[in-house]
Structure 1
Amino acid sequence: MGAFSIWHWVIMSLFLGISAPVPGVPGAIADALSGLRSLTTVPHAEKLIDYAPEAGGPVLYRLPGNVCFLRLGQQPGQTEWVRRDGQGRIEITVSAPGPTQAGQRFEPDGTAELRLGGRPVAVPVASLGLPTWRFTLDETPALQEMLDADEATLRFTAIRGGKPVPKETLSIAAANLWQGIQGLDSCASGAELPGVVGP
C-alpha cells in the first residue's frame, strides 16, 4: 500500500463512496466485513506530483479513470483529502483521529463557519462518522486568495443551534493548496502531468 496506511485506505473508501453489503450477516459484523472487502477492491493510487515537498505541501494522486485527489497531512494526527465534487465545488474530507482522541469536540449541525476576507462564510459539513468530516466549498475569489497564500490555514468553526461554537474549531493547514487544485483539474481532464517531484 506504499505511503498509505490501513487507516488511510479505510477513509479513502468512505471518501470514494465504496460500499459492499454482505447479505445474511447482521450489524457490526457486516459493516466490518464490508470494510475489509472494500479495502481489497480499492485500486492503487498513482502518485503524480508532490507540491513543495520541503514544506509538506499537497500531494496529487490519480486512480484509474482519471479519478484525482490531493492528499494533505501537514498536521500530526490529521489528514485531509481534496477533490472536486459533481458540481465542481471543492470538497475537503478531513480525518482527525488525533484531536478526537485528545478530547476535542467538533459537532456542527451540518454547517461550519469559515472566515474569508474577514467575513464569515457558511460551509456545509457532513459527518462521515467520527473522526471524519466532509466540507464543501464554493470556489470564490476570496477562497482562491486564501488558498494561494504561502501559509494558508482554513479554520472551520462548528455552528450549532444557529450560532458558532468558538471552542469547536477544526483547522487545516492549506499552504500551496491552490496550486495543487490547479493540478487536480489538469489531472481530472486527462492532461499529461510531470513525474513525481521530491522523495
Structure 2
Amino acid sequence: MLGLLALLTALATVLIPGLPQVGGGVADGVRAFTALPQAEKLIDYAPEGGGPVLYRLPGNVCFLRVDRQPGQTEWVRRDGQGRIEITVSAPGLAQAGERFETEGTAELQLGGRAVVIPVVSPGLPTWRFTLEETPALQETLDAEEATLRFTAIRGGKPVPEEVLSIAAGNLWQGIQGLDSCAIGAELPGVVGP
C-alpha cells in the first residue's frame, strides 16, 4: 500500500507542473510514518481469540489490547501513578446515543459493592477509565468469566441505559505480564532461548 502511494506520488510530480515540492512533502510524510516505532507482539493470553495480547514499544512501553467484543476494542496500560488505565473505543455505543460525559464518573461493581470510577473522553467514541488496584478488583479479574460493567453516572445517579461492558477474562494475568514487560523482565516463551 505504501509502495503504491509512493509510486503515485512520484508519477504525479512528473506529470503535474509545480507539484514536485508537494510530492516531496508527501514522500517525507510517508517516510516519517513508516519510521514510527512498531509495537512488538509478545504474548497472546487467549489465542482462541479476543485477547488480551501484550505488546511492547521501544523503551519498554507496554500495553494490552483486548478485542473480545464486536465493535469494541480496549487498550490497557499503567498510568503515571501506577493505576490501571483502560481506554475503550466503542463506536456502537456512541452511535446508539449512549455516551459517558467528557469528564465524569462511572459506577463499577466490585466485591458486591459499587465503586465510583473517573471517566475521561478524549473524543467520541473513546472513553478512558482509571482503576485503583484493590483486592476486590483483583478478585473480579481473577474470575473465569470476568466482566467489568461501567455504568454512567449523571446527576449523582447511575444511568442503567448507558453501560459499557468489558469482557475481562485473563486480564489479571495480562496485567502481571504488563508489569514484567515494563521493567524489561524476560517473558516466558517470548524473549530468550
**TM-score range, shorter-chain basis?**
0.7 to 0.9
| CA distance in structure 2 between the partners assigned to 1:194 and 1:104 by the alignment | 43
2:141 paired with 1:147: yes
- Structure-1 residue corresponding to 2:14: none
- Structure-2 residue corresponding to 1:107: 100
SS of residue in 2 equivalent to 1:128: strand
CA drift of 1:52 comes to 2.3
SS of residue in 1 equivalent to 2:48: helix
Q: Which amino acid aligns with 2:88?
A: V
TM-score by length of 1: 0.75
Q: Tell me which of the two structures has the higher relative contact order, counting C-alpha pairs closer than 8 angstroms and 6 or more residues apart.
A: 1
CA drift of 1:98 comes to 2.5
| Residues 67, 73 of structure 2: 8 Å contact kept | yes
| CA distance in structure 2 between the partners assigned to 1:104 and 1:61 by the alignment | 32
SS of residue in 1 equivalent to 2:118: strand
2:38 paired with 1:52: no
Matches for 1:8-157 after TM superposition, within 5 Å: 40=33, 42-54=36-48, 56-101=50-95, 103-108=96-101, 110-157=104-151
CA drift of 1:50 comes to 0.2
- Structure-1 residue corresponding to 2:6: none
Show structure 2 runs of 5+ residues with no match. Answer: 2-28
CA drift of 1:104 comes to 4.2
TM-score by length of 2: 0.78
CA drift of 1:180 comes to 0.3
| CA distance in structure 2 between the partners assigned to 1:99 and 1:159 by the alignment | 16
| Residues 95, 133 of structure 1: 8 Å contact kept | yes
| CA distance in structure 2 between the partners assigned to 1:104 and 1:115 by the alignment | 23
- Give the superposed CA RMSD: 2.0
Q: Which amino acid aligns with 2:100?
A: E
Structure 1 residues 81 and 42, CA gap change in structure 2 (3 angstroms):
farther
| CA distance in structure 2 between the partners assigned to 1:141 and 1:153 by the alignment | 16
Q: Which amino acid aligns with 1:178?
A: W
| Residues 76, 98 of structure 1: 8 Å contact kept | no
Percentage identity across paired residues of the two chains: 79
